[in-house]
Amino acid sequence: MSIQNDPILDLRDYLGFLVNAGYTEVVIPKSEHEEKMTSSSRRELEAIRVELGDCRRCPLSNGRKNIVFGEGSPDATLMFIGEGPGADEDREGRPFVGRAGQLLNRMINAMGLERSDVYIANVVKCRPPSNRDPEPNEIGMCFPFLKAQINSISPEVIVGLGRIAVGSLLGRKVSLTKIRGTFYHVDGIPIMPTYHPSFLLRKEPDRRWKAEAWEDLKKVMSLLGLPFDGRGESR
C-alpha cells in the first residue's frame, strides 16, 4: 500500500483537522446491526411493560404510588439489580433515585461508565411498606417480569445489590458476606453479588464495606474489559 493511500494516515489527518477546528469528541454512529439490536431490545422491554400493565398481581400494589419498572440502556452489557423501590423511587417511578441511588451513580461512574450505559431494575417493582423485605410470594409474582427484562437486554454481567436481590437471582437464601466477590452463573450470565448501596450508607463512616464493594466492581470491570486506572479508590 502506498503511503499516500494509507487510510490510517488519512484518518489521523482528519482527526487533526477536527481538533484544530475545536471539536473535542467524535461520535461514531452505530452500525446497522447495533441499531437493530437496540430497537429490538427496546421493543421487547416496551412489550414487557405493557404486559405488566397496572399490575395488581401481589399485595405490594396496595400501597404503591408508582410501579418502578427499571431504566437504562436496552442493550446494556451491565445490569444492576436491587431489592425494591424505596420512598423516593415510589414517588418518582424510577429506580435508585434517592441517596442510595446517588451512591450507585458514583459507583457506576467510578467504573468509567454513565448511568445511561447500564440498566437498573429491582426484584420487586412496587415499594414494600415501611421498607420491609419483600415476601417470597411477592418476589415470586414479580420475578418473571425481571427475568423477561434480563432476557431481552441479555447483559454480559449482572451485579446483584444486596441479599434479597442476589438470593432471588440465585434462587436460594444467601449470606452476602460469605458469597460476595465471586461470580455465580445463572442461565450463562455471570452474577456478581455485592452490598446494596443503602447498606453501604448505613455503615458509614466505616470504609471497609465500600472498599469490599469496590473490589467486587473491579472484578466486573475486568470481566467487561473496562480499563482500570486507580479511580474509585477514594469513593
Give residues in contact with ligand SF4 (CB under 6 A).
52, 55-58, 60-61, 67, 124-126, 138, 141-142
d(CA 12, CA 16): 6
Q: What's the min distance (Å) between Cβ of 119 and ligand SF4? A: 17
Q: What's the min distance (Å) between Cβ of 163 and ligand SF4? A: 18
**Closer of 95 and 190 to ligand SF4 (Cβ):** 95
Q: Which residues contact 140 (CB under 8 A, 6 or more apart)?
A: none
Q: What's the min distance (Å) between Cβ of 58 and ligand SF4? A: 3
How would you label 71-96 residue by residue, b for 16+ Cβ within 10 Å and e otherwise? bbbbbbbbbbbbbbbbeebbeebbbb
Please state whether the peptide bond connecting residue 134 to the residue before it is cis, i.e. omega within 30 degrees of 0.
no
Tell me if 49 sits within 8 A of 69, measured CB to CB.
Answer: yes
* One-character DSSP codes across 4-18: GG-HHHHHHHHHHHH
**Closer of 126 and 153 to ligand SF4 (Cβ):** 126
> Nine-digit cell at 231?
479511580
Q: What's the min distance (Å) between Cβ of 125 and ligand SF4? A: 4
Show the DSSP H helices in 53-135 as ranges.
Answer: 87-92, 99-110
Q: What's the min distance (Å) between Cβ of 100 and ligand SF4? A: 19
d(CA 217, CA 219): 5
How many Å is the Cα radius of gyration of the chain?
Answer: 20
Tell me if 95 sits within 8 A of 120, measured CB to CB.
Answer: yes
Q: What's the min distance (Å) between Cβ of 92 and ligand SF4? A: 16
